[in-house]
Amino acid sequence: MLLFLFSLSNVLQAYAIDRTRKAIHSLMKLCPDKALTRRDGETVLLPIEELAVGDVVIVHLLRAHAAFPIRVPEIKGGLPRWRLQRVLEFIEEHLNDNVSLSELSQAAGSLSCYHFARLFKQSTGYSPYQYFTRRRIRRAQSMLRNQKLLSLGEIAFECGFRDQSTFSRVFRKVVGFTPKAYRGT
């Protein structure tokens, strides 16, 4: 990936710097709002914001210049929009609480836990636990950027993690940096 980006950078450096910025910006505009990726052995659709810029460029280049057509399958089934909205609102309201799968399935409207988890993953691409964890990490990223006076322990507690070491481990697994390194960037 790094070699590809380095090669792409060399090609783009043939143009003026502002043309390079414009080219990357136009490539970002050409990409759809979702892209296929593999996660835990499954192919899922992810929002384009979850992909790195290099991945977005690769997705665009493959779609524009591949010899074979790339088709994005339609996601059929999943939770109805109104149920999904209720669950997502419930998750946002209870990010710093320990919420069970049965509570989430009740928020969706009296579904069995197994059925709810299957439909939720079909709708979002993540299991309820993975989604909950990613939302906590997103909140932590925002707090790390905007609230420099809070300690990492305070941010961990505000985001629903039981201690700073769990927070740091999960943050590094999801983001690729430790919280301290992320705050420093």
pTM exceeds cut of 0.75: no
Q: Decide: 159 and 167 in contact? Cβ < 8 Å.
A: yes
* All residues at 6 or more sequence positions from 153 whose CB lies less than 8 Å from its CB, including other chains: 163, 164
Q: For residue 14, what pLDDT is reported? A: 41
Q: For residue 61, what pLDDT is reported? A: 66
Q: For residue 51, what pLDDT is reported? A: 57
Q: For residue 88, what pLDDT is reported? A: 93
Q: Using the 8-state DSSP alphabet, how is residue 95 labeled?
A: T
Residue type, 142: S
Q: For residue 110, what pLDDT is reported? A: 83
Rounded CA separation 22/84 (Å): 37
Q: What is the pLDDT along the chain (185 residues), one digit of tens a residue?
A: 444 444 444 444 443 344 444 544 454 444 455 555 555 555 555 555 555 666 666 666 666 665 555 444 455 678 898 899 999 999 999 998 999 999 999 999 888 999 999 999 999 999 999 999 999 999 999 999 999 899 999 999 999 999 999 999 999 999 999 999 998 87
Q: For residue 70, what pLDDT is reported? A: 44
Q: For residue 78, what pLDDT is reported? A: 87
Q: Of 99, 101, 103, whose CA–CA distance to 121 is shortest?
A: 101
Q: Decide: 74 and 80 in contact? Cβ < 8 Å.
A: no
The helix (run of H) or strand (run of E) holding residue 8 is helix 2-12
Which CATH number does 131-184 carry?
A: 1.10.10.60
Rounded CA separation 173/168 (Å): 9
| Half-sphere exposure in the Cβ direction for 172 (13 Å, CA) | 9
Q: Decide: 78 and 115 in contact? Cβ < 8 Å.
A: no
